[in-house]
């Protein structure tokens, strides 16, 4: 039995030789899929398996997470403006940084 899992960034993880089984090119950036077999890790670029339904689910989860963070940021900024409170500066900064990192993406 083998497990299949998905990695958000080749810059932060490595499985086996990191050579795509579909195109035979190195996986150096972007998202990739890993199939863990008893003999080896079988890896694929996201672009080489575009019809895998898990990519769509992952994209939807990321979009939902970004929407939630954007709403939280807007609420925090409105609260700070109304109450003239500086206590939310750190939270707002963290949310802005989070959104900037998540929306720029890691090209495949």
Tens of pLDDT, residue by residue over 32-83, are: 999 999 999 999 999 999 999 999 999 999 999 999 999 999 998 888 887 7
Phi, psi of 55 (to 5 degrees): -60, -45
Other residues' Cβ atoms within 10 Å of the Cβ of residue 45: 22
Retrieve residue 39's tokens: 């003999």
pLDDT classification of 105: cutoffs 50, 70, 90 = low
| Mean pLDDT calculated for residue range 80-88 | 74
pLDDT at residue 57 in the model: 94
The structural domains of the chain, with segments of one domain joined by +, span: 1-49, 53-104
**What rounded mean pLDDT belongs to the chain?**
88
Predicted TM-score of the model (pTM): 0.66
Q: 56, 43, 53, 48: which is closest to 17 by C-alpha?
A: 43
What 3-state class would DSSP assign to 20? strand
Percent of the residues in the chain that have a pLDDT greater than 70, as a whole number: 93
Distance CA 55, CA 73 (A): 27
């Amino acid at each position: 039995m083998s497990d299949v899992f998905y990695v958000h960034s080749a810059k932060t993880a490595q499985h086996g030789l990191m050579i795509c089984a579909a195109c035979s090119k190195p996986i150096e950036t972007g998202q990739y899929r890993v199939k863990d077999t008893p003999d080896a890790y079988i890896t694929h670029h996201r672009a080489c398996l575009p019809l895998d339904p898990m990519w769509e689910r992952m994209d939807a989860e990321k979009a939902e997470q970004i929407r939630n963070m954007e709403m939280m940021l807007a609420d925090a900024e409105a609260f700070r403006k109304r109450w003239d409170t500086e206590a939310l500066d750190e939270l707002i900064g963290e949310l802005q940084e989070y959104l900037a990192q998540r929306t720029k993406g890691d090209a495949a």
